Amino acid sequence: MKYHRVTATEDSSYVTPGALQRHAEAGHWTESAVAEWLRLAGFGLRTHHIHEDGSPVLNTFGKPKQLGFYAAKDPETGQARIAGEIDGVITHVPPELRDMIPVPCLWESKKATAKKCKRFSSVGVEKADAKYYGQIQTCMAYLEIKHTLFSMLNLDNMEFYWELVPFDPLAAQHITDRAVKVLQSQTPYDLPRITSDTSDFRCKFCPYKEPCWNDPKEGKLGGTPLPYWINKGADSG
């Protein structure tokens, strides 16, 4: 995050841009399919902005503009420095689910392998993936909606894991505070590394792994790694 904040050069040794694009595109396909299945099952679901006449609002790329939130506008560029898109908002549910799913309710769609789905079904979103949980809580905070229906499609057997995630004000505030700290930073060295272990799995997936660990300036100007137990506590929510 701290290197992305100052638009540093990425290291492409882990995943090629093409592979990343294919992963992202597959996620879009899955999301569109699940949205259609929900509608066929009797759910009212909105995924994009629309005009009063029902026509879609288009973004700068000429595609339907996804629902989301925008905050902390940059006074120079006018762009939001804190923003997020949501997969959808559930406006009504089938009669048999009215006592189980409150509306309006955000919808978050994910896809995964059977192994990952098993972990989510065992411990829930909060413990299974702090990043997913943080995204959900941030969106609920800014959009002022108190529940999110989380769906994860098992790509190995096409079964679903569903979870109704309630709003957690403390978690949302914690994430917002961290975002503000990132915005206030001016260089990558203003923020500590996320871990003191080069083999940490989060580093494996980071496009800035090489500059982060090999830059001789790293570790100065506030860049001292956080103790392991602090990182562990943050991950566990």
131: three-class secondary structure by DSSP = helix
* Mean pLDDT, rounded, for 140-160: 96
86 near 139, Cβ under 8 Å? yes
Q: What is the pLDDT of residue 204?
A: 75
Domain positions in the chain are 1-15+188-237, 41-185
25: three-class secondary structure by DSSP = helix
119 near 128, Cβ under 8 Å? yes
Residue 183 has pLDDT above 50, yes or no: yes
| Weakest-pLDDT range from 52-56, 130-134, 164-168 | 52-56
Bridge partners (DSSP) of residue 44 are 92
Residue 222 has pLDDT above 60, yes or no: no
Q: What is the pLDDT of residue 27?
A: 86
% of the chain residues with pLDDT over 90 = 45
Query: What is the per-residue burial (b if ≥16 Cβ within 10 Å, else e) of 15-52?
Result: eeeeeeeeeeeeeeebbeebbeebeeeebebebeeeee
| Weakest-pLDDT range from 5-9, 68-72, 89-93 | 5-9
Rounded Cα–Cα distance for residues 172 and 144 (Å): 11
Measure CA of the first residue to CA of the last residue in the chain; give whole Å: 18
Q: What is the pLDDT of residue 211?
A: 74
Choice between 173 and 75, residue whose per-residue pLDDT is larger: 173
Query: For the whole model, what pTM was predicted?
Result: 0.70
Residue 39 has pLDDT above 90, yes or no: yes
